[in-house]
Amino acid sequence: MPGEWPASTLRGMNGTLILLLLTGAVIALWLDALSARELAGRRSRELCEKADLQWLDQSVVLQRIWLTRVNGRLAFGRKYRFEVSFDGSDRHRASISMSGKRVINYALPHREPD
């Protein structure tokens, strides 16, 4: 019949389509991870400013990732760590946990009384 595709061509097209979909999904996940890391960096800087701490190295590092639900939809929960200083001569670890785009927990060091 005119207009029919051979079965081998259709199998090849299905493989190509699956490859394109997988590539698109990987790119989407990668862009989401970059966006989440950037947001975690902004939020950690804000926390440091409020706590009168210096945010060191201007970066956050992904420590843990898990699946969670946000408004009934699956999302990634992420925990990032970063370093802070009280006066520039010390280093302390801190962390921030996010569910989707929301901060759900954070841990900052406390100053020891003199």
pLDDT at 100: 85
Which residues face 74 on adjacent strands?
69
DSSP one-letter code for 54 = E
d(CA 63, CA 80): 5
> What's the pLDDT band for 63 if we cut at 50, 70, 90?
very high
Q: Which of 56, 61, 55 is nearest to 36 (CA)?
A: 61
Tokens coding 38: 């950037």
pLDDT at 66: 95
CA 54 remoteness from chain centre: 22
pTM for the whole structure = 0.79
3-class DSSP state for residue 55? strand
Which residues face 62 on adjacent strands?
80
More confident residue, 4 or 108: 108
Residue 95 has pLDDT above 90, yes or no: yes
pLDDT at 56: 95
